[in-house]
Amino acid sequence: MPVIKKAESVLRKGRSGSAVNQGPDVWAKATGKAVYGTDLHFPGMLYGKVLRSPHPHARIKGIDTAGAYAVPGVRSVLTAGDIRNKSYGIVVEDEQPLAHNRVRYIGDEVAAVVAVDEDSASKALEAIKVEYEPLPAVFDPAEALLDEAVQIHDSCPGNIAWERDMERGEPERAFAGADLVVENSFSIPSVHPTYLEPIACVAVSDYMDNLTIHTALQSPDVVREIIAGALDLPLSKVRIIGPVMGGGFGGRVYGNLKLYLLSSLLSMHTGSPVKMRLTREEEFTVGRPMIAARMKVRMALRRDGTFLARESDIITDNGAYSAQAPWVSKTLSERNDSVYRIPNIKTRARLAYTNKVPTAQYRAYGNQAANFAYESLIDQAAEKLGLDPLQLRLKNCTHSGDVTVHGLDIKSCALSECLQKAAEKVGWNNRKEGCGYGISAGIHASGSLVANKDFRGASARAVLELDGRVTIYTGEQEYGQGAYGAFVQIAARTLGLEPQLLTIYCRDSLVTPHSQGALANRQTTIGGRAIQLAAEDLKILIEEAASEMTGEPVKMKGGSLAAASGKLIRFEEVARYHHHRTSGLTLTGEGRYVPPHTDYDETSYGNISVTYSFAAHAAEVEVDRETGALTVHRIVAIHDSGHIINPPGARGQIYGGVTQGLGFGCYEGYVFDRGKVANSSLADYRIPTALDVPRIDCHFIETDDPEGPFGAKGLGEVVQVPVPGAIANAVADAIGVRVTNLPITAEKIYRAMFKGECAE
């Protein structure tokens, strides 16, 4: 196949022939050889399916599973009464593997069936009889917070899953003394991460009571603990092995815990491997989209444009169960306060239960949702004050050395340069006739504290194998973002070896170091730093062993080992020398990176992250003045992610993230019809196609961060943050009125222009 060989060589070498590091599994993915969860097959494997509630809220009066057992090929049927059904949760323990007495949304898991194939399992589902007593349901999060609202969880009175009242400085005084106060209300729908591969898993419970779950996760080590806890298994008996991950975008941090738990229970009951996978429709109806948000925001300014204070009243829509929604709500409600110097903040945020699909997280963690609201409001203020939106931002933006209103310690920040560069590149002062221009600025934590304040860093091992190659053991996760490519580069650079001599071993909780996983922009910054330290450690160990072996000082440099006498030593020799001397151990460098100074107090004040990435995006758009049709011509994305380790990979992050930001801003969003997801297919839940993607100009302003490996900071999430706000501001610039609810569709623009709807 000469064509493929040629393509392979181009892909591997890069067009110019220079070494481009796309990560170890790029070629396997491009040729279809990569093995994903849905491809897995084990001898004797059975297939599981879930019976789901057709009601948004109902009492279960009885379940009759006899019919299901009569279907040929069915091996087991489980209901809540058949299992221990322990409560579990990530922040709030509000879920059980199967609904017990009550269902809380359309899709709630009522029974699980396992059979010899998926068709038999589906037939069995139809044969299960469930008697429901429908209960009143609540779908609107603001209504759910009213006193008279139906209560969804007895343990969470008032339907509040999480809430927060926060005040910094003296906001009331600042508002009273302001020259200008602007305000508006914004709404952002739930969005799905829409990874290409629907979630799939195979659970294998063996005769020694070990449970191995084969599934691709961003945070397998954290999920492993939740599963062991929910199933009452010793942690050491639970293992997670990851196939290749078909995208994650935050949606696979904890994936679909229900699916893992049910497949495990079915495997434990039958003694056979059990495969379960979500259909695309199930991804939308029972997968975990990001919370929807409504934001009422006010801002106080001095006449010269100085930001004085901001006040926000935020309601986020949790759906029926909580997962990470409290954490997402927290980031949504505070992260944007650190983009600018705003000394006084008042925020009330409430996460309300509703009888809708449960939520979780998505790339950028709600930061992009709030950014849309706050950046829109800044443009409103600029207009009122007669100031250039760019100058207003430059006047107030955060700089290196700042400690922000929430205590974030900003050690490196090129936001001001990003803003200026974005404006210059988009033609801010040299505008095309008929186009609208908008700009937006964002921050995202890189390596933030997540679930556990005491587990802040990462660890890694670097092993010199007997053949002279080096294997890096990491618990961090590759899901297409290029983490492993960057890791290879970091280790290769530290050891002075060619990247081809390095292998990454990963995705096996029994072997790889425990990690918090691929989230919080931490892979390169934190995981990469641990790999750098492990490689440094290995280098010292190799030099020591080689010196001992030869009896003279040996240095490792430029990919070779040279003794003081000039004699060259092969890596295999040193590896074998150590191996024999220790009766079988390998030279193993250990890297443990514990970031300094990350903590927060009970009001959440503190330096919550190792470092912070910044970005400014500018949009050039055109609006059809008759139909409202929006064409986004260009997004200019300027990023401060510190030193860029892998430039092609980093640009890829920007292209993908900006495209998703465009989807978030202009295309996507759940539509509900009395609690039922109305757009549960990729035909109706529209993400941008290749033809919808504008020209994306990206550029890096490289700061030298003191913490990240070689000065690197995270990039994967901040890329999406400024996009919806930049587009919203460009649309407002083009048509003179503002669309305040996402997505910004042609019809909404038309209504804003001609009907005065959604306008300020």
Partner 1 sequence: MSYTVVSNLDQAVEALAKSAGKARVVAGATDLFLGNLPSELVDISTVPDLLGINRDPDCLSVGAGVTHAGAAASPVIRLKAEALAEACREVGSPQVRNISTLGGNVVNAAPAADAAVALVALGAKAVLLDLSGGHREVAVEDLYANYNLSVVDSSSEILLRFLLAPAVRGEGSAFLRFAPREALSLPLVNAAARVRLKGNTIEAIRAVIAPVSPAPTRLNETEKLLLGSKPGQDTWRRVEYTAAAEVDVRGSMLRCSAEYRHHLVGVLARRVIRKALERALDSKEGGDGR
**Residue 678 binding partner 1, by CB under 8 A:** yes
If the CB atoms of residues 564 and 671 are measured against partner 1, the closer one turns out to be 671
If the CB atoms of residues 353 and 750 are measured against partner 1, the closer one turns out to be 750
DSSP, residue by residue, 48-71: EEEEE-SSSSEEEEEEE-HHHHTS
- Minimum CB separation from partner 1 for residue 730, in Å? 18
Which one of 169-177, 350-358, 596-604, 686-694 is the stretch in contact with partner 1 (CB under 8 A)?
Answer: 686-694
Restricted to residues 613-652, the positions that interact with partner 1 (CB under 8 A) are: 626-627, 629
**b (16+ CB within 10 A) / e for 437-448:** bbbbbbbbbbbb
If the CB atoms of residues 3 and 690 are measured against partner 1, the closer one turns out to be 690
If the CB atoms of residues 319 and 688 are measured against partner 1, the closer one turns out to be 688
Distance of alpha carbon 661 from alpha carbon 672, whole angstroms:
22
If the CB atoms of residues 347 and 680 are measured against partner 1, the closer one turns out to be 680
- Asked if residue 193 lies in contact with residue 249, where contact means CB atoms within 8 angstroms, the answer is yes
Interface residue with partner 1, options 196, 208, 568, 683 (CB under 8 A): 683
Residue whose token pair is 């009951």: 269
If the CB atoms of residues 142 and 629 are measured against partner 1, the closer one turns out to be 629
**Residue 673 binding partner 1, by CB under 8 A:** yes
Interface residue with partner 1, options 424, 692, 697, 760 (CB under 8 A): 692
**Residue 690 binding partner 1, by CB under 8 A:** yes
- Minimum CB separation from partner 1 for residue 184, in Å? 23
- Minimum CB separation from partner 1 for residue 167, in Å? 40
**Residue 747 binding partner 1, by CB under 8 A:** yes
Q: 609: which residues sit within 8 A by CB, 6+ positions away?
A: 408, 445, 446, 447, 448, 449, 520, 598
**Residue 745 binding partner 1, by CB under 8 A:** yes
User: What's the alpha-carbon Rg for the chain, to the nearest Å?
Assistant: 27
Distance of alpha carbon 584 from alpha carbon 233, whole angstroms:
33
Distance of alpha carbon 405 from alpha carbon 403, whole angstroms:
7
Which one of 241-249, 312-320, 323-331, 682-690 is the stretch in contact with partner 1 (CB under 8 A)?
Answer: 682-690
If the CB atoms of residues 149 and 752 are measured against partner 1, the closer one turns out to be 752
Strands 180-188 and 292-301: antiparallel
- Asked if residue 468 lies in contact with residue 572, where contact means CB atoms within 8 angstroms, the answer is yes
- Minimum CB separation from partner 1 for residue 495, in Å? 45
- Minimum CB separation from partner 1 for residue 411, in Å? 42
- The CA angle 470-472-478, to the nearest 5 degrees, is 135
Which one of 46-54, 191-199, 280-288, 742-750 is the stretch in contact with partner 1 (CB under 8 A)?
Answer: 742-750
Tokens linked to 363: 């790339």
Q: Among the residues of 117-232, which ranges form H helices?
A: 118-126, 141-144, 171-176, 220-230
- Minimum CB separation from partner 1 for residue 689, in Å? 4
**Residue 688 binding partner 1, by CB under 8 A:** yes
- Residue 489's H or E segment, with its range, is helix 483-495
- Minimum CB separation from partner 1 for residue 435, in Å? 19
**Residue 119 binding partner 1, by CB under 8 A:** no
Longest dimension (CA), the chain: 87
Interface residue with partner 1, options 555, 746, 759, 760 (CB under 8 A): 746
| Interface size with partner 1, residues (CB under 8 A) | 21
Tokens linked to 531: 């790999």
**Residue 582 binding partner 1, by CB under 8 A:** no
Amino acid sitting at position 516: Q
- Minimum CB separation from partner 1 for residue 687, in Å? 9
Q: How far is CA 57 from the centre of its chain?
A: 30
If the CB atoms of residues 146 and 671 are measured against partner 1, the closer one turns out to be 671
- Minimum CB separation from partner 1 for residue 634, in Å? 16
Interface residue with partner 1, options 684, 704, 706, 736 (CB under 8 A): 684
- By CB atoms closer than 10 A (0-12, 13-18, 19+), residue 693 is middle
If the CB atoms of residues 385 and 629 are measured against partner 1, the closer one turns out to be 629
Interface residue with partner 1, options 679, 697, 702, 741 (CB under 8 A): 679
Restricted to residues 129-158, the positions that interact with partner 1 (CB under 8 A) are: none
Extract the runs of DSSP E, i.e. beta strands, from 666-722: 672-673, 676-677, 695-700
Tokens linked to 692: 């919808």
Q: Among the residues of 236-324, which ranges form H helices?
A: 257-270, 280-286
Interface residue with partner 1, options 86, 686, 699, 759 (CB under 8 A): 686
**Residue 3 binding partner 1, by CB under 8 A:** no
If the CB atoms of residues 643 and 751 are measured against partner 1, the closer one turns out to be 751
- Cβ–Cβ contacts within 10 Å for residue 100, how many? 15
Extract the runs of DSSP E, i.e. beta strands, from 116-174: 129-134, 160-168
Interface residue with partner 1, options 196, 208, 568, 691 (CB under 8 A): 691
**Residue 689 binding partner 1, by CB under 8 A:** yes
Distance of alpha carbon 723 from alpha carbon 636, whole angstroms:
10
If the CB atoms of residues 568 and 691 are measured against partner 1, the closer one turns out to be 691
Beta bridge mates, 555: 562
Which one of 3-11, 307-315, 496-504, 739-747 is the stretch in contact with partner 1 (CB under 8 A)?
Answer: 739-747
If the CB atoms of residues 145 and 737 are measured against partner 1, the closer one turns out to be 737
- Minimum CB separation from partner 1 for residue 667, in Å? 7
**Residue 185 binding partner 1, by CB under 8 A:** no
- Minimum CB separation from partner 1 for residue 277, in Å? 18
Distance of alpha carbon 174 from alpha carbon 472, whole angstroms:
53
Which one of 397-405, 562-570, 730-738, 743-751 is the stretch in contact with partner 1 (CB under 8 A)?
Answer: 743-751
Residue whose token pair is 């992050």: 653
If the CB atoms of residues 668 and 717 are measured against partner 1, the closer one turns out to be 668
**Residue 451 binding partner 1, by CB under 8 A:** no
Nearest residue to 256 (alpha-carbon basis) of 109, 451, 104, 99: 109
If the CB atoms of residues 501 and 682 are measured against partner 1, the closer one turns out to be 682
Amino acid sitting at position 584: G
If the CB atoms of residues 562 and 746 are measured against partner 1, the closer one turns out to be 746
Q: Characterise 386 by phi-psi region: left (phi > 0), alpha (psi -120 to 50), beta (else).
A: left
Nearest residue to 275 (alpha-carbon basis) of 197, 204, 205, 202: 202
Interface residue with partner 1, options 750, 752, 753, 758 (CB under 8 A): 750
- Minimum CB separation from partner 1 for residue 256, in Å? 25
Which one of 296-304, 494-502, 596-604, 672-680 is the stretch in contact with partner 1 (CB under 8 A)?
Answer: 672-680
Distance of alpha carbon 268 from alpha carbon 69, whole angstroms:
18
Which one of 220-228, 571-579, 680-688, 718-726 is the stretch in contact with partner 1 (CB under 8 A)?
Answer: 680-688
- Asked if residue 57 lies in contact with residue 103, where contact means CB atoms within 8 angstroms, the answer is yes
Distance of alpha carbon 299 from alpha carbon 171, whole angstroms:
10
If the CB atoms of residues 237 and 751 are measured against partner 1, the closer one turns out to be 751
Interface residue with partner 1, options 235, 671, 674, 706 (CB under 8 A): 671
Distance of alpha carbon 90 from alpha carbon 20, whole angstroms:
39
CA distances from 698 to 214, 426, 445, 653, 719 (A): 37, 11, 20, 10, 10
**Residue 667 binding partner 1, by CB under 8 A:** yes
- Asked if residue 245 lies in contact with residue 52, where contact means CB atoms within 8 angstroms, the answer is no
The binding site for partner 1 (CB under 8 A) comprises: 626-627, 629, 667, 671, 673, 678-679, 683-684, 686, 688-692, 745-747, 750-751
